[in-house]
Structure 1
Amino acid sequence: MHNKIPKLILLDFDGTMADTFKEMVDINNKLHKELGTDPIDYLEAIQLREVPMRDWLRIIEIPIWKVPKFIRTIINELEKRISTLELFPDMKNVIQSLSDKDIVLGVITTNSKENVREFLNLNGLKQISFVKHTDFLSGKTGVIKETLNEFKLSEDEVIYIGDTVGDIKDAKRAGIKCIAVTWGYNTEVLLKKYEPAAVANKPEEILQLLNFQ
């Protein structure tokens, strides 16, 4: 996929590093009256993985003006659960292997920087150099471009790793390649429709795609 070793790899958090999908469903169901949403069972939630995340808002009937409150509530509740969130199996080894190649690693997330930093600390992920936040509705393209300028890197020196259609689109708009991972919020079938640079079905495949194995 990529003959040139990247100098910077940007990672998504929810669904790429941390398994937050079940927590998100649980929070919605417990607080659905406060959030103004419909409760959803887990099997229905699994089916949501087959559509882009922005379509979830329509399916669970969240009007666009309520989205900021919905996101804030989810993030605040996740803060209470950070210690119980799981790092996806083998992601720690992948992150260490990338760091061993002298690649700078950073996180760009719609979650809070505080949540992500606490999770990184709890899981001993000191290899992550920085965490940047962006609003869900704004997307990640602007922050990606700012990061390229900050590090004085060209587009072909940076890769984004994410789990959603939005991640693929945002990376493309910023002019960088995206490795889409299939263990998060969107399915492999859906992700492939949006033509990421490559698809990883398990964490160690990231290293294979970068020719590190």
Structure 2
Amino acid sequence: MKIAVFDFDGVIADSRMAIFEAFKEISIRKKMPLITSDEIFNLSIKQILSKYKIRWYQIPHYLNLSRQIIFLNRDLITLDQQIIKMFENINFENIKFVILSSNSNNLINEFVQKNLPDIKFTEVIGGVSLFGKSRKIKQLAKRYSKNKNDFIYIGDEVRDIIAARRAAIKSVAVLWGKESEKLLTQEKPNYIAKSGYDLAQILNKFAQE
């Protein structure tokens, strides 16, 4: 059985407006100009942290703050239309679905129950540190299969592609999320999905390998 591991924000959910509210609060607390939507799209998370002068030891504090603000603004989060298209074209045989995200478990579970009630996710793993996804992926691999070829990670950020590579599994970069095609292609993901239909075709083929 193959395992497709999905990031949440930017892949399944369009969280941009809620995330922007978090950036607003960080800007106020750091007494710095608000980052623009273009900058969010064209900068990796490491570059954004550098722009806001957030040091490594401050990351957990600001990540927790962001989760709280995003949760308070969860009504701004919508189901991405490309994921609807993906599920319309996916062959559910021979593949399981897992969500692995830095967002909170409570928000993800509430969102899935409301927006994807008919989709069975084998597991939802939230609250992952910004740069801790590779470790979580390795733990998943130990639980479900010793063969890392059975896993594929679907993300919208540079850190997602890097995490998949460090965990020695395949990756798919989707182009409807946070980061630009230019940023993502620089990290050389195994696949690039420009639409939900593209992603369905990639996963259907993966499930038959």
Question: After TM superposition, is the score higher than 0.5?
Answer: yes
- Shift in Å, 1:134: 4.9
Q: Percent identity?
A: 24
Looking at structure 1, the residues matched to 67 and 39 of structure 2 have their Cα atoms a distance apart, in angstroms, of: 22
Cα distance, 1:195 vs structure 2:
0.4
TM-score, L = length of structure 1: 0.86
Distance 1:37 1:15, change over 3 A: farther
Helix, strand or coil: the match of 1:70? helix
- Aligned residue for 2:9, secondary structure, equals coil
The aligned residue for residue 79 of structure 1 is: 71
Question: In structure 1, which of residues 12, 28, 52 is the aligned counterpart of residue 7 of structure 2?
Answer: 12
* Cα deviation digits, residues 127-150 of structure 1 (max 9, x gap): 222111353344211110110110
- Contact 2:26/2:62, CA 8 A, preserved across alignment: no
TM (normalized to structure 2)? Answer: 0.88
Equivalent in the alignment of 2:81:
89
> Where does structure 2 lack aligned partners over 5 or more consecutive residues?
none
- Relative to 1, partners in 2 of residues 1:48 and 1:77: Cα closer, same or farther, differing over 3 Å? closer
Are the counterparts in 1 of residues 5 and 100 from structure 2 also a CA contact under 8 Å? yes
Among candidates 86, 97, 100, match of residue 108 of structure 1: 100
Matched, 1:62 2:57: no
Report how many residues are paired. 204
Contact 2:91 2:204 in 1 (8 A): no
Report if aligned partners of 1:163, 1:180 keep a CA contact under 8 Å in 2.
yes
Amino acid at match of 1:150: R
> 1:186 is aligned with what amino acid?
E
> C-alpha separation between the residues in 1 aligned to 2:150 and 2:180?
27
1: CA distance between counterparts of 2:189 and 2:63?
26
CA contact (8 A) 1:99 1:127 kept: no
In the alignment, is residue 38 of structure 1 matched against residue 32 of structure 2? yes
Q: Which residue of 2 aligns with 1:3?
A: none
Is contact 2:18-2:69 (8 Å) kept?
A: no
**Greater shift in the superposed pair: 152-161 or 133-142:** 133-142
Q: What is the correspondence of 1:46-195 to structure 2 with a 5 Å cutoff?
A: 46-95=38-87, 97-98=89-90, 100-125=92-117, 126-195=119-188
Distance 2:124 2:194 in 1: 25
Report the 3-state secondary structure (helix = DSSP H, G, I; strand = E; otherwise coil) of the residue aligned with 1:199. strand
Deviation of 1:201 (Å): 1.2
Contact between 2:84 and 2:196, CA under 8 Å: does it hold in 1?
Answer: no
Bigger mean CA deviation after superposition, 105-114 or 61-70: 61-70
1:68 CA displacement: 1.4
Aligned Cα RMSD in Å? 2.1
Q: Distance in 1 between matches of 2:55 and 2:82?
A: 38
**Aligned mates of 1:37, 1:16 — CA distance in 2:** 31
Once the two structures are TM-superposed, the CA of residue 179 in structure 1 deviates from its matched residue by: 0.5
1:157 is displaced (CA, Å) by 1.0
